[in-house]
Amino acid sequence: MTLPAALPLSMSQIATEVGATLPLSLLDPRVIALAVKSAGPVSFSDLLGQIGRYDGTVTPTSNGGGVYAPISGIPWLGGGVFAQFNVNYSSQTGGASLSFSTAPLWGGNITVINNTYSVSVVLTPYNSVTWNCGPGLPGGTLSSGVPNSLTIIPSL
């Protein structure tokens, strides 16, 4: 999704873009990152045309004991560009990771929701271009060979 490129712009549109609920402040860290700023203040004009969430369908493939979903080239939150989302279901090395080819301004947690299977996972920052979590992922976090509807949003 992308915010409108011209005014008017509403707080509910901003909240939807970052996966938040109302009331929402322009000083919320997700909104500040969406405005491509390191700190407030933020104005509505700073938010025009910005992208704070990914909503799309991918068809993942198997990848050495895990599942790989390429989402490369898609911009997100503060200039980041997605590279891939991986899930490894091994009980010892399992986990999920989301990587970027260009680092987003956002440095907090990221929630990946698989709308197809109604499951989600919260990833924590590993470095400036990778977010991950450990083993114990719910089934359906990412399924190979079938279309998976994903939503990716910043989370507090």
Residues 43 and 75 in one domain: no
Q: Looking at residue 52, what is its pLDDT?
A: 93
Query: Is the residue at 15 inside a domain?
Result: yes
Q: Looking at residue 137, what is its pLDDT?
A: 82
pLDDT band at 140 (very low <50, low <70, confident <90, very high): confident
Helix (H, G, I), strand (E, B) or coil at 148: strand
Query: Is the residue at 21 inside a domain?
Result: yes
β-bridge partners, 61: 68
Q: What are phi and psi of 70, to 5 degrees?
A: -75, 125
Q: Cα separation of 145 and 58, whole Å?
A: 9
Query: Is the residue at 1 inside a domain?
Result: no
Compute the average pLDDT of residues 50-62. Answer: 93
Query: Is the residue at 63 inside a domain?
Result: yes
Residues 42 and 58 in one domain: no
Quote the mean pLDDT of the chain: 91
Residues 143 and 111 in one domain: yes
Instruction: Judge whether residue 90 has pLDDT over 70.
Output: no
Q: Which domain holds residue 60?
A: 54-155
**Total-model pTM:** 0.92
Residues 151 and 92 in one domain: yes
Decide which of 64 and 17 is more confident: 17
Q: Looking at residue 94, what is its pLDDT?
A: 75
Residues 91 and 30 in one domain: no
Q: What's the number of domains the chain is made of?
A: 2
Residues 147 and 113 in one domain: yes
Query: Is the residue at 4 inside a domain?
Result: no
Residues 58 and 85 in one domain: yes
Query: Is the residue at 6 inside a domain?
Result: no
β-bridge partners, 99: 84, 130
pLDDT band at 91 (very low <50, low <70, confident <90, very high): low
Residues 72 and 36 in one domain: no
Residues 103 and 135 in one domain: yes
Residues 94 and 33 in one domain: no
Query: Is the residue at 2 inside a domain?
Result: no
Q: Please, are residues 152 and 110 in contact by the beta-carbon 8 Å criterion?
A: yes
Nearest C-alpha neighbor of 47 from the set 13, 19, 71, 72: 13
